[in-house]
Amino acid sequence: MATNFDPDPHPHQHDHDAHPEYDTVERVEHELDYFQVRVLALADILKEKGLLTTDEMRRAVENIYSKSPAIGSRVVARSWADPAFKDRLLEDASAACLELGIDTSSINHLVALENTDEIHYMVVCTLCSCYPRLLLGQPPTWYKSFPYRSKAVADPRGALADLGYEAPEGIELRVVDSTADCRYLVLPRRPAGTDGWSEEKLLALVTRDSMIGVGDALSPEEYEAGQEAVAG
């Protein structure tokens, strides 16, 4: 079966001068790695067998890339603003997310973990890259890297420091390992100086890294400084 990206379907039979357009195709092929070629070949087979259409694949990919940490931030901001919601979230994260219209049913078991002044959770997938993509979008590159996946377990404080986060002295670090069946959302500590803030205002303080447990939420001062940097 031929795909658009078969590695050189006509090895050494072509004349580059006679087919200038071929050079471009060949160059693209050679820029794809083994897994990219394999994915394209698999997509072709699924299409040939009538199991998936190109449109279905496009929509699935669009769905994947429509997710971002802004979704998880809504969950965190609500839990800061509404203690009863937080209790429900810690009890049954999927049901609580559904209250906000966030359907996490494709995650077998979603668990929310609350960071406190005594306990700090951080998330890793030691095996591969399991991540609550529905709530946080695609994982950052470092999350999938071997150094993070190994060091998070062997030396969590060091792994956090590598990412620029100094965990508070004396705090108990708890590393949780994501799997295909179980994904974690960390509820960062609510920043000081936010008493009486609306949920809308709190939303801006939630960061992706704080929901992985490799950072804290922004303080109001850090948020203001960030806004000035953007404006300036």
Active site residue 182: no
CB 185 within 8 A of CB 109: no
Provide the token pair at 45.
């087979």
Which of these is catalytic: 79, 97, 125, 178? Answer: 125
Bridge partners, 185 (sequence order):
112
Cβ atoms of residues 81 and 202 within 8 Å = yes
| Closest approach of Fe ion to the CB of residue 126, in Å | 8
Q: Active-site residue among 128, 145, 150, 198?
A: 128
Catalog residues that contact Fe ion under the rule CB under 5 A. 125, 127-130
Which is the catalytic residue, given 73, 79, 97, 130? 130
Q: Which residue is nearest to Fe ion (CB)?
A: 130
- Cβ nearer to Fe ion, comparing 53 with 145: 145
Residue 122 · residue 187 · CB < 8 Å: no
125 catalytically annotated: yes
| Interatomic CA distance for residues 4 and 25, integer angstroms | 9
Nearer to Fe ion, 80 or 184 (CB): 184
Answer yes or no: are the C-beta atoms of 168 and 118 closer than 8 Å: no
Catalytic-residue membership of 97: no
130 has catalytic annotation? yes
Among 156, 130, 161, which Cα is nearest to 143's? 130
Kindly tell me which of 75 and 124 has the beta carbon lying closer to Fe ion.
Answer: 124
Q: Which helix (H) or strand (E) holds 187?
A: strand 182-187
> Least Å distance between CB 60 and Fe ion?
19
Nearer to Fe ion, 28 or 127 (CB): 127
Q: Which residues are catalytic?
A: 125, 128-130
